[in-house]
Structure 1
Amino acid sequence: MLARKLLFPVGLGLFGVTILCLLGTWQIKRLNWKNNLINEVTNSISMKPQRVDLKNIDINSQYLSVVFEGQFLDNEIHVLFSLKPYGPGFKIIKPFKLKSGEIILVDLGFVKESDKNIDRNIKETKIMGNIFFPNETDYFTPSPNLTKNIWFSRDLEKMSSFLNSSPKMLILSSDLNISDIVVTPLNPNFVNNHLQYLVTWFSMAAAWLFMSVYLISRVVSKHRKAKN
């Protein structure tokens, strides 16, 4: 009789604790994966810049630290951007022609609104930075205003088509000493809440276990009183 009464609370307790512990264990794996990813990206960004052929660069080269030689071309794209403590302004995207004749897009950094249309004749022939394939465009992103040269995201396909370049981008890390440009080196901001999540799941598992033990003890206590 007692075994039948305990079947539900014991089963419910085991089920809940098992599920919550599995979720906590999964978050441990996710935490390790995210920490490894952050370490890999940090190491890739901070490593010594290397010379690579543009044709060998693909999505797997994300964050790779590189150095290129060539010359900047005249055209540029202005992408809406906000940077503390400067406020609203634009990212300057400029094509850079390599010695091989290939052209890559270069994110020079940030300028204030008042400096948007300044003529920039950049003589620098050697640049360093990190490869980046931005993913900023979705269904709700407005089309660029080509008349005013105002873009609302770094859309590689559209920008490369507009500037006749390869759909690959370098985020500048070396300072070109251009007075109106604030260099914005690549600094990925990874959200890592997995430690918080795993603490939550295991805390819930402990609470579930406590409540299950309490419920089981109540059932046993009532059974003993009924027998007496």
Structure 2
Amino acid sequence: MNLRLILTASLSIAILAVFLGLGKWQLDRLQWKQDVLADIEARIGADPVDLPAQPDPARDKYLPVKVTGTMGNETLRVLVSSRDAGAGYRLISALTTSDGAVLIDRGFIRVADTMPARPAGEITVEGNLHWPDDRNNATPDNQPTDNIWFARDIGQMAAALSTRPILITARQTTPPEAAITPMPVTSAGIPNDHLEYAMTWFLMAATWVMMTGFALWRMKRRTRDTRIPRND
């Protein structure tokens, strides 16, 4: 075998090893992400506890809590879309507790639905602490003065409703709010694309093998043809 074939084969094997290594790395990341999501789901579904005095976004993310208080009169409507119900609003209200007022994400209503009245008297909310990231490059700015909201900005909402900058996404309320569909915290929105990435790298590896095999076959054939003497 000539030097050119050896160099081409060696380089191709090295590149193939890179593709396979990246695919294996993505599979390892997939297993890691599945473990993380399982831990998050277990944390979300744990028994609720009292609201910490000073919730921390890193330490208390998804922490299940139970609070009791009275609901404020004003409700913020955040425009969202539900896969099953279509366009609608998340309803954000203030709940005044013995430790101060906090934000409650009460759940979802459709755009055409009538705004439900606030619960009378005390209400108990079981849900999860959440620091949502609803914004992307296409999200318009909130307009708090006009009560027009496109993202749950905890700081802006807390200022608008005069609460602590704490958001609890309701899982259930007692007594229940029949006109509102809860949209509890889940791990469904956390991206996990590592399997697709792994398959992409393995597909590239398979394609590289075919391309390399064809190239080596052509090079070998060309070398053989040059060695065959012509009969003039």
TM-score greater than 0.5 by the shorter chain: yes
Deviates more, 1:127-136 or 1:75-84: 75-84
The 3 A distance-change label for structure 1 pair 165 and 87 is same
2:109 aligns with 111
Match of 2:145, SS state, is coil
Match of 1:66, SS state, is strand
- Displacement of 1:13: 0.7
Q: How does 1:10-89 map to 2 (within 5 A)?
A: 10-89=9-88
Q: How many residues align?
A: 225
- Displacement of 1:226: 4.6
Q: How does 1:1-228 map to 2 (within 5 A)?
A: 2-100=1-99, 102-138=100-136, 140-144=139-143, 146-147=145-146, 149-175=147-173, 176-189=175-188, 190-224=190-224, 226-227=226-227
Segments of 5+ residues of structure 1 without an aligned counterpart are none
8 Å Cα contact 1:80/1:152 also seen in 2: yes
The 3 A distance-change label for structure 1 pair 208 and 107 is same
Deviates more, 1:35-44 or 1:45-54: 45-54
8 Å Cα contact 1:78/1:116 also seen in 2: no
Deviates more, 1:115-124 or 1:22-31: 115-124
| RMSD value, Cα | 2.5
Can you list the C-alpha shifts for 1:162-195, whole angstroms capped at 9, x where unaligned? 1121222111001442232122222332332322
Q: Determine which structure has the larger strand proportion and give its number.
A: 2
Matches of 2:52 and 2:144 in 1, distance apart? 33
Match of 2:172, SS state, is coil
Q: Determine which structure has the larger helix proportion and give its number.
A: 1
8 Å Cα contact 1:105/1:169 also seen in 2: yes
- What TM-score do you get using the length of structure 1 for normalisation? 0.84
Matches of 1:138 and 1:208 in 2, distance apart? 36
Matches of 2:120 and 2:111 in 1, distance apart? 20
The 3 A distance-change label for structure 1 pair 146 and 115 is farther
Matches of 1:156 and 1:116 in 2, distance apart? 25
8 Å Cα contact 2:107/2:170 also seen in 1: yes
8 Å Cα contact 1:95/1:105 also seen in 2: yes
